[in-house]
Amino acid sequence: MKKIFLTLIFLTSVTSCSEVKKDNNPIDNKMKKALNLNNDQVTVLVEVSYSSDLEVIKKFIRDEQAPLFFNLDDPGIIRFEWFLNEAEKTGTLIEVFENSNVWEELGNKVLGSPINIKFRELFKIEKLTVLGDINENFKAKIQAMNPVIKSYVGGIN
């Protein structure tokens, strides 16, 4: 009887340990990947050039533009990041939005705003690429920027 009891305790502890180990595995806790499933995100790549002093550009990005977007506290803004090539005086702004509605709402707030006016004074937009589906009304609004718009086809996300 004592052997049966000890065997049951042993089996219970082994089973419990294996379950705990599985739950603590970071690979199991990650979101599952999906194949060819459009997640409706919109990615905007803004390629720019600039002629202003580098410190003026960095100050604008770090002290004005990025804090403004951060303080909007909009969960639909997934990514808003700048990358500069200081030697060539070019940059890339990467914006990722939950969906086209989030980008359109933000665009309607920002277009013509003081922060956007200053952006246009500091940077020349060389290329605007929109990855994802956006509605026709917003396409018309941004048409002056001559965007390249590409629709989702497939992949892993």
Q: Is residue 157 part of a domain?
A: no
- Is 101 part of any domain? yes
CA-to-CA distance for 87 and 74, rounded, in angstroms?
Answer: 34
The reply to whether 25 and 48 lie within a common domain is no
Strand order through the sheet with 148-150 = 77-85, 90-97, 42-50, 123-131, 148-150
Residue 20 lies in a domain: yes
Say whether both 85 and 129 belong to one domain.
Answer: yes
Query: Does any domain span residue 156?
Result: no
pTM of the full structure: 0.78
More confident residue, 14 or 78: 78
Digit-coded pLDDT (tens) for 93-142: 999 999 999 999 998 888 889 999 999 999 999 999 999 999 898 899 89
Q: In this model, does residue 16 exceed pLDDT 60?
A: no
We report the CATH number of the domain holding residue 63 as 3.30.70.100
Residue range 56-70, pLDDT digits in tens: 999 999 999 999 999
